[in-house]
């Protein structure tokens, strides 16, 4: 069963993403900030991470930076919400597989996620 890690500080996002992808036979684990995402990646070894940039606690960019610095190549989809160009340039350096722009239409996210999991 493919495994997806959803990282977002909004409980609604985590819950509804879980419901949605579970119905598609995907094992969904969730994390509410950057640090718990890093822990979850180590313990669950997901096939794909959906990572929000702006979060309470450790943000998505820092988490991604830490992840890549320990040599972890887990595939990451970044969820962006009108970040400034500087932030986007920084994220770009860390091997991101796809970007999803907030607010999203779930069908579009589904396409991206299924595509990434298939590869």
Contact residues for other proteins, defined by CB under 8 A: 10, 12-13, 16-17, 19-20, 23, 54, 81-82, 84-86, 101-107, 109
Closest CB 67 distance from other proteins, rounded Å: 23
**Least separation in angstroms between CB 106 and other proteins:** 3
- Residue placing its CB nearer to other proteins in the complex, 84 or 119: 84
Task: Write the Ramachandran bin of 47: left for phi over 0, alpha for psi from -120 to 50, otherwise beta.
Answer: alpha
Burial class of residue 26 (count of CB atoms within 10 Å of its CB; 0-12, 13-18, 19+): buried
Instruction: Give me the least distance between CB of 110 and other proteins, in Å please.
Output: 8
């Amino acid at each position: 069963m493919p495994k997806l890690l959803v990282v977002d500080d909004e409980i609604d996002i985590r819950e509804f993403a879980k419901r949605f992808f579970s119905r598609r036979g995907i094992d969904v684990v969730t994390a509410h900030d950057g640090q718990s995402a890093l822990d979850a990646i180590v313990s669950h070894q997901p096939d794909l991470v959906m990572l929000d940039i702006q979060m309470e606690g450790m943000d998505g960019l820092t988490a991604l930076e830490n992840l890549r610095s320990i040599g972890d190549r887990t595939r990451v989809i970044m969820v962006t919400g009108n970040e400034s160009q500087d932030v986007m340039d920084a994220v770009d350096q860390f091997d991101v597989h796809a970007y999803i722009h907030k607010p999203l239409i779930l069908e579009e996210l589904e396409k991206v996620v299924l595509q990434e999991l298939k590869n």
